[in-house]
Amino acid sequence: MALQFTIEPNPSPASDERVAEVLRAPGFGRVFTDHLAIARWTADQGWHDARIQPYGPLSLDPATHVFHYSQTIFEGFKAYLQPDGSIATFRPAANGERFNRSAKRMALPSLPVEDFVTAADLLVRTDARWVPSERRCAPTGQRQ
């Protein structure tokens, strides 16, 4: 069964001026949008409680395993503004598959690719104003 996402708008989104400033020189891994996608996993329920929520600090129990074993997966991909004003991502399902290969190597639960793509699509739509109008190589700001 596919995850059902709730969307919680950010009560204090970045100003239009701040977004414009960031988009002049976006920085991969240095700049973050107004929201993030999150879901919980338990052995009893699998993946559940999926949501798009305001970006901000996470509250973690001191016994959280990441503090003991440092298991983490980062899977990012870019969204591109198209000439007609729509937004496209490049092969999000392939990113979801790569995420699951990483999860398998780390003995973490896999996430159905459909749910990965849904989360990414919802996040991109929710933060659409953050998609740059120019294609840039994020770490250096050089054009792709």
Q: What is the CATH number of the domain that holds 73?
A: 3.30.470.10
Q: How many domains does the chain have?
A: 1
CA distances from 33 to 2, 18, 67, 69 (A): 25, 11, 25, 28
Is residue 140 included in any domain, yes or no? Answer: no
Is residue 141 included in any domain, yes or no? Answer: no
CA nearest to 54, candidates 115, 2, 6 = 6
Count of CB atoms situated within 10 Å of the CB of 131: 19
Can you state the angle between helices 92-105 and 113-126, rounded to 10 degrees?
Answer: 120
Is residue 144 included in any domain, yes or no? Answer: no
pTM over 0.75: no
pLDDT of residue 58: 86
Mean pLDDT by 10 residues, the chain (144 residues): 93 95 83 92 94 92 75 79 91 94 92 95 94 60 38
